[in-house]
Amino acid sequence: MRKRFLNWGLLAILAVLSLALGGCGSQAVSGNSKGAAAFDAETLRADTPEAIDEELAARFERTKKAADKMFAEEDGHLVIRHKYGRTVLPERPQRIAVIGLEDTVVSLGIPIAAAHLSKNSYLYPLMKEEGIADIPINAETKTINLEAVQQVRPDLILMRDSYDRNAYNALAKIAPVVALDL
């Protein structure tokens, strides 16, 4: 059983990273997407390397604990809870389709079978070189070409949870889907 959890280490790291990145960006001072402040803006904070390291370590621990709560084992299967419910993860996914999490998945070295290949993206040359299949997505309407997803026959789909429940439900008819907050 321990080996099984180790096999999912990359996915756990992805979850931790996606939770950690959720607190980054221009909303860090004013609050995160849920409306809660990342820290008290009225409290003076030291900007020494030691103070910054301490704050980042504390944030990492909080994020890791939250990510650990996302995973459970049920009937011998690893299950992850996310915005749209829970997903029973396949034992050893080989064909992973990625929608909206391309940067994160590439940075973690998770093998990708299909993703949105935008010619304007800095990842485009790498993804073309790797032979990653394209999933056309209309950026304005967030419409995903479901036929393109189905054609690659993924055994797991990782999607950004900014896509709506309808997109999640449609993709879930193709393969197990994990919706992650970036």
- For 91-125, the three-class secondary structure string (H helix, E strand, C coil) is CCCCCEEEECCHHHHHHHCCCCCEECCCCCCCCHH
Q: Per 3-state DSSP, what percentage of the chain is helix, strand, and coil (rounded to 5)?
A: 40, 20, 40
Confidence class for position 22, pLDDT limits 50, 70, 90:
very low
**Mean pLDDT, residues 15-25 taken together:** 44
Confidence class for position 35, pLDDT limits 50, 70, 90:
low
Comparing 63 with 33, the larger pLDDT belongs to 63
Write down the pTM of the prediction. 0.73
Residue 17 has pLDDT above 50, yes or no: no
Q: Contact 161/83 with Cβ under 8 angstroms?
A: yes
Residue 182 CA to residue 14 CA, distance in Å, equals 10
pLDDT tens per residue, range 116-167:
999 999 999 999 999 999 999 998 998 999 999 999 999 999 999 999 999 9
Residue 182 CA to residue 164 CA, distance in Å, equals 14
- Measured between alpha carbons, how far apart are the two ends of the chain, in Å? 29
pLDDT tens per residue, range 44-93:
778 899 999 999 999 999 989 988 999 999 999 999 999 999 999 999 99
Question: What residue type is 92 in one-letter code?
Answer: R
Report strand pairing: 96-99 vs 114-115.
parallel
Confidence class for position 18, pLDDT limits 50, 70, 90:
very low
